[in-house]
Amino acid sequence: MNTPTTSSQASLLIRGAHVLALDDAGNEWPRADIVIEAGRIAAIGPGAGDHWPRAFDRVIDAEGMLAMPGLINAHFHSPGNLMKGMLPGYPLEIFMLHEVPPLAPSGDAGRLAYVRTMLGALEMLRRGITSVHDDAYHVPIATHESVDAIMRAYEDAGIRATVAIDQPNIVEYDKYPYLAELLPAEEKRAMDNARRQTGEELMAVYQHLFDRWHGAANGRLAAAVSCSAPQRVTVEYFQALSEFSKQHDLPFNIHILETKLQRVMGEQKFGKSLVRYVHDLGLLDERMMVIHAIWIDDEDIALLAQSGCTVAHNPVCNLRLGSGVMPYRVLRNAGVPICLGTDEMNTDDSVNLWFVAKTAALLHTLATPDYSQWPQPQEILHAATRGGARAMRRADDLGQLAVGCAADVILLDIDTVAFTPLNDLRRQLVHCEDGGSVRTTIVDGRVVFEDGLITTVDERALRTELRGLMKAYREQVAAAAQDTQRLEPIYRQMYERAAAQDVGMNRWLPPMPGTRSVP
């Protein structure tokens, strides 16, 4: 039996918690109250709930608990939720061949898309992730129905979600270097005939997303835009997305220079870096969340800093796909804000942002022997909360605990292995916590996870239903695999050819003695 929920319109008192606000003032109280009314923080501080003029609908005794802002998963692809552990280690370009087969005749189904999205949302709530920025792709095309299934799942789960439509609209072989010349004529014809949408068709789906869902569920749900990546769309569609983003002040998701092959692609197709390409189009601005930004040079970094954009760092995904290591400290020293993402369940194999935070904190110690430049716990926590809020265009009221902010709060049990003994709270949050200490998750003032139970839906019934849907899903994957197995050797040639190019930088570890080099 699920525990009773607390409506976002109800009043709630969190009493006697150790509060880590992560606000501009750096507030931290060993014992304080948080008063929540109508989904917002109405008061915070020692004794804030004493003598409150109205009775509370609920009081949570938080003695021995840490209250802090919910984490924000700033980059995610929910359609990968059924593929955790499914694919072996592949570089991105071969991985995407399996993940989004270019010749797939069918894909997203209404109920499957709903349950699939719900699966990831509930796992995030269990780990204290209260907001997700979902760059959702649709196979083979985006429809009102596939968009509605995703948004309805987030509405029902109770999580805060900002969602974009990640849908390329050019032929597959034009997204990559060398591929057009490597493909046999019959494969090129098949790609020419594969289903894809015009910019006008996609903008109509975006209008539906905005009209139907932006601001829904008391403001928990919001629209964003996405071009997937600049080399994957027409210029006209790219410009239309930018205008839509400006018109409605929406975040703009864009994958840029995730891999070395993309560096080669930019030089080959546009004669310039993909960062420079977007800048020269006049589209690089503060609404953009640039995702990955690994194979960037000093000029790219200067342009990113000048634009005011945020960069989404996904270190676990980058390691899983062998994409390389983002120049974290160089970006930060240039003034570029950073947020953190898990990316998708088939590249992270979970949605554990705590593990992403720890990986980010550790990975960049290898960048320099100057340990004063290594990531510090406070900046990693900032990236996991307020950095994501900034990327979602919600810097003023998400990712921190302060009066007037949205009541997205998590309670962690301090009497756990992660905090015993408690030596340094911030350091142990980053290096010791894995989400296992989260006891309560509150989104928009509503308790959505408590005492080991999701309070919004019957989680066990959902998992049972999903297992029943997996047979048809696996048959669909198997059918698409016939094409991918035939195409994979060609994509491997493309990948190895790009990997062998000199692009004036290296974002991989140097080869170890005896390691086979890419020819």
Confidence of residue 5 (pLDDT cuts 50, 70, 90): very low
The model's pTM is: 0.96
Confidence of residue 9 (pLDDT cuts 50, 70, 90): low
User: With contact defined as beta carbons under 8 Å apart, do 47 and 1 qualify?
Assistant: no
Alpha-carbon distance of 362 to 352, in angstroms, equals: 16
Confidence of residue 8 (pLDDT cuts 50, 70, 90): low
| Tens-place pLDDT, residues 318-347 | 999 999 999 999 999 999 999 999 999 989
- Comparing C-alpha atoms, which of 334, 323, 287, 279 is closest to residue 508? 323
Asked if pLDDT for residue 108 goes beyond 90, the answer is no
Higher pLDDT, 74 or 511: 74
pLDDT confidence of residue 516:
60
pLDDT confidence of residue 518:
53
| Tens-place pLDDT, residues 186-237 | 999 999 999 999 999 999 999 999 999 999 999 999 999 999 999 999 999 9
Asked if pLDDT for residue 86 goes beyond 60, the answer is yes
Instruction: Please compute the mean of the pLDDT values over residues 504-519 and round it to a whole number.
Output: 75
Asked if pLDDT for residue 138 goes beyond 50, the answer is yes
pLDDT confidence of residue 519:
47
| Tens-place pLDDT, residues 11-38 | 999 999 999 999 999 999 999 999 999 9
pLDDT confidence of residue 420:
98
Instruction: Please compute the mean of the pLDDT values over residues 239-248 and round it to a whole number.
Output: 98
pLDDT confidence of residue 129:
98
User: With contact defined as beta carbons under 8 Å apart, do 167 and 197 qualify?
Assistant: yes
Instruction: Please compute the mean of the pLDDT values over residues 361-382 and round it to a whole number.
Output: 97
Q: Which residues contact 392 (CB under 8 A, 6 or more apart)?
A: 72, 74, 131, 133, 162, 222, 224, 251, 398
Which CATH entry fits the domain spanning 11-69+405-454: 1.10.357.10, 2.30.40.10, 3.40.50.300, 3.30.750.24? Answer: 2.30.40.10
> What 3 state SS string does 278-297 have?
HHHCCCCCCCEEEEECCCCC
Q: Which residues contact 400 (CB under 8 A, 6 or more apart)?
A: 21, 22, 23, 24, 69, 385, 386, 389
pLDDT confidence of residue 3:
39
- Comparing C-alpha atoms, which of 145, 132, 125 is closest to residue 80? 132
| Tens-place pLDDT, residues 245-277 | 999 999 999 999 999 999 999 999 999 999 999
Q: Mean pLDDT score of the chain, rounded to an integer?
A: 95
